């Protein structure tokens, strides 16, 4: 797990074993995630989306607490995955970081509760799967417009973004902040601390860390 520039976001860069049969890799390892974040994912839901080239999904986030942590990878094709710090008061508020995810290097991105998430499909049939710490709850899930010039996310040139009606109607970052829609860094920090305390009490049920093995 390699920490990104935004606190609460990491990229997992697995060792991929390849031979004449194909390949094998471990795309999620609970001990590494627990070591990085201080608490586990608490899996509640797993999602899969298939997108045509140019599809732009996000920027999505959820109210904190409880928020919704995500662990994201691309199992077919390629996407540009983006983490956005939407936590007001954060040292990196408004910052974003992009990570290419594809079916060759098999990277995965983990983002903590309160962070915004978006991606653009770079290929047809780009298939993204992600694990979520909480189930879908429409009343507490929100979005910020991914093409907001104040965010100035560096989406790939030469692709015409295709947005859902919901994402196209999402507020700008300034509008979301003005209406109190965004989570605060203080509230998120308190929630992370509570999750770490819970993990310390129950041991988090995380097995010891062991090296990746060929299958």
Contact 16, 103 (CB under 8 A): no
Determine the topology of domain 2-201 in CATH.
Jelly Rolls (2.60.120)
* Number of Cβ within a 10 Å radius of residue 50: 13
Q: Which of 19, 16, 14 is nearest to 1 (CA)?
A: 14
Residue tagged active-site, from 34, 39, 60, 192: 60
Residue tagged active-site, from 106, 110, 117, 130: 130
Contact 116, 61 (CB under 8 A): yes
130 annotated active-site? yes
So what's the pLDDT on residue 215? 54
- As a whole number of angstroms, the distance between CA 36 and CA 112 comes to 11
CA distances from 69 to 47, 112, 118, 144 (A): 13, 5, 13, 17
Contact 60, 166 (CB under 8 A): no
- Asked if the model's pLDDT at residue 13 lies above 50, the reply is yes
Give the rounded percent of residues in the chain with a pLDDT score beyond 90: 93
Per-residue pLDDT tens over the stretch 172-207: 999 999 999 999 999 999 999 999 999 998 764 454
Sign for the pseudo-dihedral over CA of 25, 31, 35, 39: positive
Number of C-alpha atoms within 13 angstroms, CB side, residue 165?
0
The domains of the chain are located at 2-201
Taking the model in full, what pTM does it have? Answer: 0.92
Cβ partners under 8 Å of residue 80, min gap 6: 98, 99, 100, 101, 119, 120, 122, 155, 156
Give the chain's mean pLDDT. 94
């Amino acid at each position: 797990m390699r920490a990104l520039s935004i606190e609460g976001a990491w990229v997992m860069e697995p060792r991929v074993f390849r031979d004449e049969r194909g390949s094998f890799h471990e795309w999620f390892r609970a001990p590494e995630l627990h070591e990085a974040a201080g608490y586990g994912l608490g899996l509640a839901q797993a999602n899969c989306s298939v997108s045509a080239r140019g599809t732009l999904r996000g920027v999505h986030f959820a109210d904190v607490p409880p928020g919704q942590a995500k662990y994201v990878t691309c199992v077919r094709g390629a996407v540009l995955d983006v983490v956005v710090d939407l936590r007001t008061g954060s040292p990196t508020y408004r910052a974003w970081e992009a990570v290419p995810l594809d079916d060759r290097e098999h990277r995965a991105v983990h983002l903590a509760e309160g962070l915004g998430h978006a991606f653009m499909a770079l290929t047809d049939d780009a298939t993204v799967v992600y694990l979520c710490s909480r189930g879908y709850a429409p009343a507490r899930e929100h979005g910020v417009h991914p093409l907001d010039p104040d965010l100035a996310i560096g989406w790939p040139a030469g692709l015409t973004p295709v947005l859902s009606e919901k994402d196209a109607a999402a507020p700008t970052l300034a509008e979301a902040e003005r209406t109190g829609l965004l989570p605060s860094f203080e509230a998120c920090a308190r929630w992370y601390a509570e999750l770490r305390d819970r993990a310390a009490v129950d041991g988090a049920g995380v097995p010891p860390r062991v090296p990746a093995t060929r299958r």
